[in-house]
Amino acid sequence: MKPTVKSLPERPPLLAFGAHPDDIEFGCGGIVANEVLCGRPAHLVVCSRGESGSNGTAAVRTAEARRAASVLGAALEFVRLDGDAKLEVKAAHALRLAAVIRRVRPEFVLAPTLEENQHPDHWRLGRIVRDAVRLARYGGVAGLRRLRPHAAGALLFYAVGPGCEPPGVPPLLVDISAREVFTCWKASMEAHASQLRTRNYVDMQVARARVLGLAAGMDYAQALYPCNAIVLGSLAPLARPARRQ
């Protein structure tokens, strides 16, 4: 089911990058569903077809990604870089993703964390996106001049699995407890049926969200890790701390 979008003035988009067809749904799909429900367009960019995975062909995984994006109510595009399990950190890749950022013009950009104890494509894509967000701001970059510079509001990292959460970094928690949000997120993960043949990743991600949520006084939550300090116009957004002092 697609989330029912509230009738609100359109907000600048959310742009999420994933190295493989299921990364976004497993790592931050609840956040995407929540933002779409709140009236924010979401644009997903997947940088391989998952062709090196143990289960599912590239064609199958592409179709699954399209179904998952439809469930989330998000736009989807594939931007092939080096291929699944072959990704390298290159300036050319950062420039290519910077062009996507300039075209989509997001307020928020999501990418995998930089922790190296995970699939190497994940943290390498995180580094590439970090560079791309910066290059998208610079007006004189050759190869990008056809598109207006764009400064995203914030780059936020998501952890695809529990082993790639940055140690010692307090996360931003997003409440995904609303029935429609949670149901949509779970359905988007279940769309990647080929990846559930040998391990129930849906249950694992739901359990992660449950633990994060309960520790902060909500049913389910997903975490984001800011690349840089977050600037607030007032203290109002902090009215709901994760723990009561």
Structure-token pair, residue 118:
């995970």
Residue 34 lies in a domain: yes
Q: Is residue 2 part of a domain?
A: no
Please, where are the H alpha helices in the chain? 23-37, 58-72, 91-104, 120-135, 179-190, 201-215
**For residue 6, is pLDDT > 60?**
no
| CATH number assigned to the domain comprising residue 154 | 3.40.50.10320
Is residue 245 predicted with pLDDT exceeding 80? no
The answer to whether position 74 is within a domain reads yes
Q: Which helix (H) or strand (E) holds 175?
A: strand 172-175
Strand order in the sheet with 221-226: 75-78, 42-46, 14-18, 108-112, 154-158, 221-226, 172-175
Residues 104 and 237: their CA atoms lie apart, in Å, by: 26
Instruction: Quote the pLDDT of residue 236.
Output: 85
Q: Is the pLDDT of residue 53 over 70?
A: yes
Burial of 137 by CB count in 10 Å (0-12 exposed, 13-18 middle, 19+ buried)? middle
Q: With a cut of 50, say whether residue 19 has pLDDT above it.
A: yes
Would you say residue 77 lies in a domain?
A: yes
pTM of the model: 0.94
Tell me how many domains the chain contains: 1
Q: Report yes or no on 3 lying in a domain.
A: no
**Structural domain for 40, as ranges:** 14-227
Answer for the pair 24, 126: CB distance below 8 angstroms, yes or no: no
> Which is it for strands 154-158 and 108-112: parallel, antiparallel or unpaired?
parallel
